[in-house]
Amino acid sequence: MTVSDTAEKIKSMEIRGAGRIARAAAEALRDHALSMQAQNTAAFRQDMERVAALLVSTRPTAVSLPNAVHFVMAGLAAAKTADEARNGVVHRAEQFIHSSQHAVGKIAEFGARHIRDGDVILTHCNSEVALGCMIEAHRQGKEIEVFATEVRPRNQGHITIRTLNDAGIKTNFIVDSAVRSFINDVDLVIVGADAVTVNGAVVNKIGTSQVAHTAAEARVNVIVAAETYKFAPRTVVGELIQIEERPPGEVLPDEIARTLPNVKVRNPAFDVTPPEYIDLIVTEQGAIPPQMAYVIIREYLGWEIGEFNLAGGSPADFNGE
């Protein structure tokens, strides 16, 4: 698959989920580096930067994507020849993919410890790490039951219920607006994240903040499962996470929208859950209260304030294992 194929698939959400997007981008950069015929480092670097920018431009919110791309592109930093540059990119891409898969497994292991026998869990959207925690708890013999939301407009809940069904986990499928009706039957909310900011706010699928607010009101704990590469280094220097607004046709068919000239359809794909609604963020480095997000950014993404190059940003030094 070429870089443009991968970029197109990420944009159309054929490849989706913050972790999967990041690994797909690393694979695309690796394959592009391997296929390139460039004779000199400058030409190699220029072309890699072009495709890296294309990948990063596909979806603006999941910070795992630029974090993965920066990590892989750091393989070019010390290269003196095109071959060294190619090897650097391939090595770091492989390292990212491996570390990411390792992180998903570790989070499942740590997250499962927060799930008790008999727990009823509510999840929103489709997060491989959030599901990983539930599947691991089930594998350990804990009897759990899950409430999974539909997740309008893209219906990622359908993927979630298939995975839970296939794992043999008892599951209830509900529309997004039914969360408050069932929250008193729920012991624990577990969701994923597309980005975690320096103050511990979690950016995740639209509706997550309503779920977390409802859970807070009902005194139900909320756990966020997030690999360290979903923490957003540049929020340390005040950069805001851009919330992707997707085409209106995902919410209302264009032929209906055309008949309603006074109606504007809004379709933000993500929202922000403030740290006070989150009890714990489970990363592959262990669980932290959201207020400790800065420590993850500093310790595991390798960013320090002095390293920030505000013009372009320096590569995140991902150290996920």
Tokens coding 136: 């691991």
Q: Which one is catalytic: 31, 47, 166, 194?
A: 194
Crossing angle, helix 18-35 and helix 128-139, to 10 degrees? 110
x/- map, 179-218, ligand RI2, by CB under 6 A = ------------xxxx---------xx-------------
The per-type count for the chain, helices as H runs and strands as E runs, is: 11, 10
Exactly one of 7, 18, 55, 278 binds ligand RI2 (CB under 6 A); that residue is 18
Q: Residue 198 or residue 269: which is nearer to ligand RI2 going by CB?
A: 269
The yes-or-no answer on residue 31 being catalytic is: no
C-alpha count within 13 angstroms, C-beta hemisphere, residue 154: 23
Maximum pairwise Cα distance, the chain: 64
The yes-or-no answer on residue 194 being catalytic is: yes
- Beta-bridge partner residues of 287: 282
Using rule CB under 6 A, residue 269 touches ligand RI2: yes
Q: How many residues bind ligand RI2 (CB under 6 A)?
A: 17
Using rule CB under 6 A, residue 164 touches ligand RI2: no
Cβ neighbours of residue 253 under 8 Å, at least 6 residues apart?
none
CA 195 – CA 61 distance, rounded (Å): 7
Using rule CB under 6 A, residue 16 touches ligand RI2: yes
Q: In angstroms, give the least distance from the CB of 192 to ligand RI2.
A: 3
Using rule CB under 6 A, residue 278 touches ligand RI2: no
- Locate all alpha helices (DSSP H) within the chain, ordered by sequence: 3-11, 18-35, 41-56, 64-73, 82-112, 128-139, 156-166, 179-182, 208-217, 254-257, 293-300
Q: Please answer whether residues 225 and 204 qualify as being in contact, where contact means their C-beta atoms are separated by less than 8 angstroms.
A: no
- Beta-bridge partner residues of 153: none
Q: Please answer whether residues 192 and 226 qualify as being in contact, where contact means their C-beta atoms are separated by less than 8 angstroms.
A: yes
Q: In angstroms, give the least distance from the CB of 43 to ligand RI2.
A: 34
Using rule CB under 6 A, residue 129 touches ligand RI2: yes
Cβ neighbours of residue 259 under 8 Å, at least 6 residues apart?
none
Q: Residue 18 or residue 69: which is nearer to ligand RI2 going by CB?
A: 18
Tokens coding 205: 């699928």
Q: Residue 82 or residue 133: which is nearer to ligand RI2 going by CB?
A: 133
Q: Residue 17 or residue 75: which is nearer to ligand RI2 going by CB?
A: 17
Q: In angstroms, give the least distance from the CB of 194 to ligand RI2.
A: 5
x/- map, 78-117, ligand RI2, by CB under 6 A = ----------------------------------------
Which helix (H) or strand (E) segment holds residue 47: the answer is: helix 41-56
Q: Which one is catalytic: 119, 125, 133, 279?
A: 125
Residues that bind ligand RI2 (CB under 6 A): 16-20, 125, 127-129, 156, 191-194, 204-205, 269
Catalogue the active-site residues: 125, 194
